[in-house]
Amino acid sequence: MVGSGFQNIFKIPELKRRILYTLALLSVYRVGVHVPTPGIDAAALSQYFVRAKGTLLGLFDMFSGGALEQMSVFALGIMPYISASIILQLLTVVIPHLERLSKEGEQGRKKITQYTRYGTVVLSIIQGFGISFGLESMSAPGGAPVVIDAGWTFRLMTVITLTAGTAFIMWLGEQITERGIGNGISLIIFAGIVAQMPVAIGNTFRLLSTGEMGIFLVLILMTLMVAVIGVIVFVEQGQRRIPVQYAKRVVGRRMYGGQSTHLPLKINTSGVIPPIFASSIIMFPATLASFIQVPWMQAVAESMRPGSLMYETLFVGFIFFFCYFYTAVTFNPVDVAENMKKHGGYIPGIRPGKRTADYIDRVLTRITLGGAIYVSAVCVLPSLLITRFNVPFYFGGTALLIVVGVAIDTVAQMESHMITRHYEGFLKKSGGRIKGRR
């Protein structure tokens, strides 16, 4: 059963070490969330953010794990790194030098990673200046200024502090990916969202006790959450299996091949990347606009409020784009078709080579459309209902998709470690293993 599977984790020294290392670095991240940036009046900032609940700042605060509301050293979160990654991936398609680097294996990937780090620092500096100027113009509802001593000393200190915080989070994420378990960047976002869930649940009970929320609405929300989680788990495990036949071949006195297998294509190949990337692109300019107290900039920030037509339209558009873009980056039908041809594999009824690549590409395009519709529906529909009833973001579809998606991928990696070392996975029978693993 599942319990024995978890017991097997501690029987594998390497896996145990990786999990403990991951938990230790995530703990360091959560401690840093509570280290304040110098020169900020925490009480005045807290009062200001009470009014910002349900706005784009509230969504950004969710992705930063509550660091923005406290204006801690990690206030920018990991979003500058994600934005830099998006820019580099888009430039890889346009700039031949980056395209060559992406095909040079490990050395090329290291170079692109280095460029991403430089881009992260540049974006952090830009956002840091924007936030420092915005903080100087902010005040609590009672009129108390958020910044204790405004000026260039405060601005430079804020930029240096926030940039260093983002660089440190970036390093933590890379260390988790390399030496821990799971994707470090996704786990940092996951930890930030999960850490705020107890507070969100407590606020819900408080609203329930004061009569601001009815018991019927809470039951509807809980039912909606369970239904969304069920849909996410069901679709994330969904596959389109293309049958593959390997021809028999004789090597010496032995005969090889002749078996039938399948090529599994996940319905949502891109995972939780599209909503994270889409949120990052929308939040970068909109967050700066919300901090800068200029009428037309404030109008832009208001038009980008979650739940508004402009925000949801852009969000869905970016989700569709990144579903297709990330799938194209991570899965190349031509390479798959060539590898199948080299090993004597073919799809019944399809000629090997270009015809096979075209067939796989056509199938992948169709299921990616279904995956993009699913991701958009999960992220947008619950959020629209939640915005309508003025419920915190923590119960939104985007948060649930990230939490469930990252949890599934991390558990799958843990199970892969156990099965590789001849231990049972989290389920007894092999048929019960997590699908989607190749």
Does 122 fall in a domain?
yes
111's enclosing H/E stretch is helix 106-136
Dist. CA 247–CA 397, nearest whole Å: 46
| Banded model confidence at residue 52, pLDDT cuts 50, 70, 90 | low
* Residues with Cβ within 8 Å of residue 360, at least 6 apart in sequence: 242, 263, 265, 333, 336, 337, 347
- pLDDT over 50 at 437, yes or no: no
Q: Mind listing the pLDDT tens digit for each residue in 15-29?
A: 888 889 999 999 999
In a domain, 437, yes or no: no
pLDDT band at 409 (very low <50, low <70, confident <90, very high): confident
pLDDT tops 90 at residue 202: no
Averaged pLDDT of the chain: 79
pLDDT, position 431? 46
CA distance 282 to 315: 7
In a domain, 389, yes or no: yes
Per the model's pLDDT, the better-predicted residue between 365 and 64 turns out to be 365
- pLDDT for 24: 93
Q: Which residue segment(s) compose the domain that 301 sits in?
A: 2-432
Q: How far apart are CA 351 and CA 314, in angstroms?
A: 41
Query: Is 438 contained in some domain?
Result: no
The reply to whether 201 falls in a domain is yes
Confidence of residue 76 (pLDDT cuts 50, 70, 90): confident
Question: Which segments within 16-145 are labelled E, that is strand?
Answer: none
pLDDT of amino acid 406: 87
Counting the structural domains of the chain, the total is 1
**pLDDT tens digits, 80-95:** 888 888 888 888 878 8
Number of Cβ within 10 Å of residue 15's Cβ equals: 21
How many whole angstroms separate alpha carbon 71 and alpha carbon 39? Answer: 10
Widest CA span of the chain, in angstroms? 88
Domain assignment present for residue 291? The answer is yes
pLDDT above 90: percentage of residues in the chain: 12
Please tell me the predicted confidence (pLDDT) of residue 119: 92
- Taking the C-alpha atoms of residue 393 and residue 395, their distance in angstroms, rounded to an integer, is 5
pLDDT, residue 392, reads: 53
| Alpha carbon distance 61, 39 (integer Å) | 20
pLDDT at position 433: 52
- Structure confidence by residue, pLDDT tens digits, 116-134: 999 999 999 988 888 888 7
Q: Is the pLDDT of residue 51 over 70?
A: no
- Structural domain contains residue 411: yes
Is 0.85 topped by the overall pTM?
no
Kindly tell me if the per-residue pLDDT of 365 is higher than 80: yes
Of the pLDDT bands very low, low, confident and very high (cuts 50, 70, 90), residue 430 is: very low
CATH number of the domain that 322 lies in? 1.10.3370.10
| Residue with more model confidence, 105 or 407 | 407
Mean pLDDT to the nearest integer, 324-347: 84
Give residue 293's pLDDT: 62
Strands 345-346 and 254-256: unpaired
* CA atoms within 13 A of residue 265's CA, in its CB half-sphere: 26
pLDDT of 120? 92
Model confidence at 167, in pLDDT bands (50, 70, 90)?
very high
- Cα 289 to Cα 68, 110, 166: the distances in Å are 15, 34, 20
At residue 438, does pLDDT exceed 50?
A: no
Residues 86, 279: Cα–Cα separation, whole Å: 12
pLDDT at 180: 87
Who wins on pLDDT, 63 or 272? 272
- 334 inside domain: yes
Q: What is the DSSP string of 4-45?
A: HHHHHHTT-HHHHHHHHHHHHHHHHHHHHTTSBPTTB-HHHH
